[in-house]
């Protein structure tokens, strides 16, 4: 399950000096809450409390793990859980490092996205021998869910530019099983109609060999759409082509597969191969944008794609990190050769760092950069900022195309409250709905370079934005963000973003 949307609740107005007073007041409020909230400097951790109560030994001593007991799993295989534990039966662990090993193991198990709750509790067996009891509570894995999807880049664009026109909605059914055989393998099938049609399927098996270090995924599908983006104008807004009779104007067919290697706990190597066929109506090429494909005036193109990426992920929560770090690098070759048409070599890298500042204060730095070679690319290869999660907060309304660019985000947040709401209907999956609320302030900056395109309002120049808001984190790590942001154009507004789940 993946929830992802954004909306501007109050459209932009000219920025005044009053906004800086709001920011100053908000920062003062954060400081006041840090002093007055009841949380102490040491963050509460049930695992840490249990550890200090259960294991009172000389920190220089060593402890032997006599056995590991795993309970609570109904569907998931025990060896899938054991694969994520940082120690094995028979291992000797220095007492001073036991808590760290337990906490890292808990994080790894939780970050499989298979469980709503995970605890690891050590207890003495005899002498310096201990047992570790791992208790998990499984999530709900099967989702035959109705779909309501927008044809536009985000909810904000659908409301502001198209007045929430329901004719622009794609509807249908998604079937997903996120633990099909109990080995964390996933199957997703889409059957969609409406503004777009989509028939597609994906199967991923991250643990496909006996040692649980290799995996694969395969996917394929066919889609049609009644509109297609053919150009970005000088105001950094996308232009779409559609027919008066509402017939389909774009078709897409794709097949892809990948091989995944994860021999340790935090590093992954992913090799991918795929093929894409894309066709648009003649008018898109002949009348509106001859550079759409750069394919000798043809209205279709087919190309292979080869890729390699390296990922390092070591955070407390993969969906909403508060501590830890991630970094990645990728190399993708689209098309054959290095000149003309759909031929592009993309190099990209990202680095994200998350810190705890104590007393439930946190900060994060997020940076991503990319370059596409050669610099002269058809329009469909020029997308950069404004799609998916790659945007400056406060500039969600705009698309900034580019063949090279960088984006960085800085956030300071404070957890102001946490509570649970009991579920009135008794069930074995969810007994309570947890809520955590974070107050935050942020600043973003970026630059997108495009050599062969006429200047736009936001292209080829330094960009910046900022603001403050609230994050609401709830069941299955679904996160709602309410952000009051402003940008260098003098615009401001309240935006809603939501994401999370599987």
Work out the average pLDDT over 45-55: 47
pLDDT at 27: 41
What pLDDT is recorded for position 194? 85
Nearest-angstrom CA–CA distance, 6 and 481: 9
Strand partners of residue 355? 363
**What is the C-alpha separation between 131 and 124, in angstroms, rounded?**
6
Domain boundaries, the chain: 2-17+142-177+185-501, 46-138
Residue 1 has a pLDDT of: 40
Kindly report the average pLDDT of the chain as a whole number. Answer: 87
Cβ atoms of 452 and 291 closer than 8 Å: no
Please, are residues 273 and 257 in contact by the beta-carbon 8 Å criterion? yes
Q: CA-CA distance, 272 to 297, in Å (whole number)? A: 30
pLDDT score of 265 more than 60:
yes
The CATH architecture that domain 46-138 belongs to is: Roll (3.10)
Is the per-residue pLDDT at 113 higher than 60?
yes
Tell the burial category of 228 from Cβ atoms under 10 Å away from its Cβ (0-12, 13-18, 19+): buried
Cis before 374? omega within 30 = yes
| pLDDT tens profile 381-439 | 999 999 888 999 999 989 999 999 999 999 999 999 999 999 888 877 788 899 999 99
Percentage with pLDDT > 70 across the chain: 85
Q: What is the pLDDT of residue 426?
A: 82
User: Is the separation of the CB atoms in 315 and 353 below 8 Å?
Assistant: no
Whether residue 255 has pLDDT greater than 60? yes
Q: How far is residue 478's CA from residue 457's CA, in Å, rounded to a whole number?
A: 35
The predicted pLDDT at position 450 comes to 92
**Can you read off the two tokens belonging to residue 400?**
């900034």
pLDDT at 278: 96
Q: Give the pLDDT confidence of 134-187 residue by residue, as tens digits.
A: 999 999 999 887 776 676 666 666 677 777 777 777 888 889 999 999 999 999
- C-alpha 81/C-alpha 70 separation (Å) is 8
pLDDT of residue 170: 82
8 A C-beta contact, residue 92 and residue 70? no
DSSP string, 285-350: IIII-TTTT-STT-SEEEEEEEEEEEEEEEES-SSS-SSEEEEEEEEEEESSSSSSSS-EEEEEEE
Judge whether residue 16 has pLDDT over 50. no
The residue-averaged pLDDT of 212-227 equals 96
355-365 pLDDT, tens digit each: 999 999 999 99
Q: Average pLDDT for residues 192-200, to the nearest whole number?
A: 90
Is-contact 467 483, C-beta < 8 A? yes
What is the mean predicted confidence (pLDDT) over 317-331?
97
The pLDDT of residue 441 is 98
Do the Cβ atoms of 200 and 249 come closer than 8 Å? no
Task: Read off the pTM.
Answer: 0.85
Instruction: Name 333's Cβ contacts closer than 8 Å, sequence gap at least 6.
Output: 305, 306, 307, 344, 345, 346
Three-state SS for 33?
helix
Do the domains 46-138 and 2-17+142-177+185-501 match in fold? no
- 370 with 348: CB under 8 angstroms? yes
Give me the pLDDT at residue 153, please: 62
Question: Pairing mode, if any, of strands 62-71 and 129-138?
Answer: parallel
DSSP state of 387: B
Report d(CA 126, CA 123) in Å as an integer. Answer: 9
Helix 95-110 to helix 46-54 angle, to the nearest 10 degrees? 150
Strand ranges (E), 400-478: 404-422, 432-449, 463-473
Q: Token pair of 452, please? A: 């062969």
| Chosen CATH of 2-17+142-177+185-501 out of 3.30.365.10, 2.40.160.50, 3.40.50.9100, 3.40.30.10 | 2.40.160.50
In 10 A of CB 97, how many CB atoms?
Answer: 15
Say which range, 3-7, 124-128, 201-205, has the weakest mean pLDDT: 3-7
Query: Could you tell me which residues come within 8 angstroms of residue 438 by beta carbon, excluding any fewer than 6 positions away?
Result: 362, 413, 414, 415, 416, 470, 471, 472, 473
| Cβ contacts of 285 within 8 Å, gap of 6 or more | 292, 293, 297, 298, 299
Those residues with Cβ within 8 angstroms of residue 352's Cβ, 6 or more apart along the chain or in another chain: 321, 325, 326, 327, 364, 365, 366, 367
At residue 7 the predicted structure's pLDDT band, cuts being 50, 70 and 90, is low
Percent of the chain at pLDDT exceeding 90: 70
User: For 66-92, what is the mean pLDDT?
Assistant: 96
pLDDT of residue 152: 67
Flag whether pLDDT at 455 surpasses 60.
Answer: yes
């Amino acid at each position: 399950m993946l929830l992802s949307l954004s909306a501007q609740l109050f459209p932009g107005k000219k920025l005044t000096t009053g906004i800086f007073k709001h920011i100053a007041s908000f920062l003062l409020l954060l400081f006041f809450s840090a002093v007055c909230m009841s949380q102490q400097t040491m963050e509460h951790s049930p695992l840490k409390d249990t550890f200090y109560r259960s294991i009172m030994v000389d920190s220089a001593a060593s402890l032997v793990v006599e056995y590991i007991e795993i309970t609570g799993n109904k569907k998931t295989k025990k060896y899938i859980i054991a694969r994520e534990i940082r120690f094995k039966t028979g291992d000797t662990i220095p007492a001073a490092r036991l808590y760290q090993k337990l906490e890292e193991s808990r994080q790894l198990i939780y970050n499989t996205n298979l469980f709503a709750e995970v605890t690891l509790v050590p207890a003495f067996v005899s002498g310096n021998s201990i047992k570790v009891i791992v208790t998990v509570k499984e999530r709900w894995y099967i989702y035959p869910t109705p779909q309501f999807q927008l044809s536009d880049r985000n909810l904000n664009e659908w409301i502001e530019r198209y007045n929430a026109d329901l004719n622009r909605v794609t509807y249908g059914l998604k079937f997903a099983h996120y633990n099909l055989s109990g080995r964390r393998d996933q199957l997703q099938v889409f059957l969609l109609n409406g503004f777009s049609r989509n028939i597609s399927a994906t199967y991923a098996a991250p643990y496909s060999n006996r040692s649980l270090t290799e995996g694969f995924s395969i996917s394929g599908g066919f889609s049609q759409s009644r509109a297609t983006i053919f150009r970005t104008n000088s105001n950094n807004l996308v232009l779409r082509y559609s027919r008066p009779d509402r017939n389909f104007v774009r078709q897409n067919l794709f097949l892809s597969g990948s091989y995944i290697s994860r021999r340790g706990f935090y590093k992954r190597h992913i090799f991918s191969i795929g093929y894409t066929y894309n066709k648009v109506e003649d008018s898109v090429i002949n009348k509106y944008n001859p550079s759409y494909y750069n394919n000798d005036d043809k209205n279709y193109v087919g190309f292979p794609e080869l890729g390699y990426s390296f990922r390092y992920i070591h955070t407390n929560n993969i969906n909403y990190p508060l501590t830890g770090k991630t970094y990645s690098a990728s190399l993708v070759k689209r098309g054959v050769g290095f000149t003309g048409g759909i031929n592009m070599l993309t190099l990209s890298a990202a680095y994200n760092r998350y810190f705890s500042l104590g007393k439930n204060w946190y900060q994060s730095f997020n940076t991503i950069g990319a370059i596409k070679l050669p610099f002269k690319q058809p329009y469909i290869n020029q997308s950069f900022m404004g799609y998916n999660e790659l945007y400056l907060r406060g500039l969600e309304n705009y698309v900034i195309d580019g063949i090279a660019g960088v984006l960085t985000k800085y956030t300071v947040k404070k957890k102001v409250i946490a509570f649970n709401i009991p579920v009135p209907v008794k069930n074995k999956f969810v007994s309570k709905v947890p809520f955590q609320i974070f107050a935050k302030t942020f600043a973003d900056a970026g630059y997108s370079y495009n050599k062969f395109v006429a200047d736009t309002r936001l292209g080829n120049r330094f960009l910046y934005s900022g603001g403050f808001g609230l994050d609401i984190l709830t069941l299955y790590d679904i996160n709602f963000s309410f952000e009051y942001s402003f940008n260098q154009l003098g615009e401001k507004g309240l935006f809603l973003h939501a994401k999370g789940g599987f």
